[in-house]
Amino acid sequence: MDIIDIRELCHRFPDGTQSLADISLTINSGDFVLIAGANGSGKTTLLKHFNGLLRPESGTVRVCGVPVQDDPLAARKNVGMVFQDADSQIVGDTVYDDVCFGPENLRFERDDIERRVKTALAAVNLGGSMNKSPHHLSGGEKRRLAIAGVLAMTPQVMVLDEPFSNLDYPATATVLQQIQQLHRGGHTIVVTTHDLEKVITLANRLVVMDRGRIVRDGSPADVVGEIDAYGIRPPCSVLLGQGIQPWLR
């Protein structure tokens, strides 16, 4: 079943720069889609169209069959977005408050909010940090908190923009495991990155973007051999002729 359906999407920045051109993309329920591209290729701009944070110049974006422009709130309920900079996403005074933020916006009952917050924090192993100030968490914990904040809204699709940027090895490994668990739990996952190494084995589809266009779209095994031409470094194992190998052992 199509959960996100994009047809001939074009977007232009206020200064006139064409950031997305003629994007058509369909994401099915349960997919793990990796969107790769060099800096400035339009990955983040595309993601912001998934939940109506940007308005298209032309074309349509549908989430669960409903045009995003008609009902952005429904799109935001269904598509949870984790931003690249976790700090800018944190709005609560405590870890608990931050995870509450989404469910409170959706006006759930207080008991339901409590339940959602506890479940989301447990899912990212932050259950013991409820009363901590988010600004005192480590980089990896902040990223997991951002994921919990979105999880508490129980979206069908989780969109993660460069989820491993600025993380050390243990934090990257933890976030990677969380993403893997979310996918196993039935979430549709969309991840953007220019560093394929860590996450390529989890994805069942690789979409390559270049200068605002989709230039390759297929299974990672089929596409990975051609990504070098678009400014994306292939995983080491591919460069060494060993095919796609998991980053986590």
Partner 1 sequence: MFRITRAGDSAVAALNVIGYKPGHSLLHELDPRTKQILVMILSTACFFGGYYFLGLVSLCLILCFILSRIGVVRTFRQTRYFLFFLCFLFVVRTVTFTERFVPVFTPEQVQSAAVFCWRLLLIVLMGVLLISTTRTADIRAALVWGLRPVPFVNERTAATMVGLIVRLVPLMLVQAGEISDAMRSRCVESRRKPLSRMSRFTIMLFRRAFNRADDLVETMQARCYNEYRAVRILQFARIDMLAFCIAGALVATALFS
Applying CB under 8 A, the residues found at the interface with partner 1 are 48, 51, 53, 73, 76-77, 80-81, 83, 85, 88-89, 91-94, 97, 100-108, 110, 113, 131-133, 135-136, 149-150, 153
Residues contacting residue 69 through CB under 8 Å, at least 6 positions apart: 52, 55, 56, 60, 61
Query: What's the token pair of residue 97?
Result: 């408050």
Question: Rounded distance, CA 199 to CA 119, Å?
Answer: 25
Based on CB atoms, which residue is closest to partner 1, 8 or 168? 168
- Answer for the pair 12, 18: CB distance below 8 angstroms, yes or no: yes
Based on CB atoms, which residue is closest to partner 1, 21 or 53? 53
Question: What strand order describes the sheet that includes 157-161?
Answer: 79-82, 157-161, 188-193, 32-37, 205-210, 213-218
Based on CB atoms, which residue is closest to partner 1, 98 or 210? 98
Least separation in angstroms between CB 154 and partner 1: 12
Based on CB atoms, which residue is closest to partner 1, 53 or 66? 53
Based on CB atoms, which residue is closest to partner 1, 97 or 195? 97
Least separation in angstroms between CB 105 and partner 1: 4
Least separation in angstroms between CB 42 and partner 1: 17
- Answer for the pair 77, 153: CB distance below 8 angstroms, yes or no: yes
Question: Rounded distance, CA 44 to CA 123, Å?
Answer: 26
Question: Rounded distance, CA 200 to CA 244, Å?
Answer: 8
- Answer for the pair 38, 195: CB distance below 8 angstroms, yes or no: no
Least separation in angstroms between CB 27 and partner 1: 18
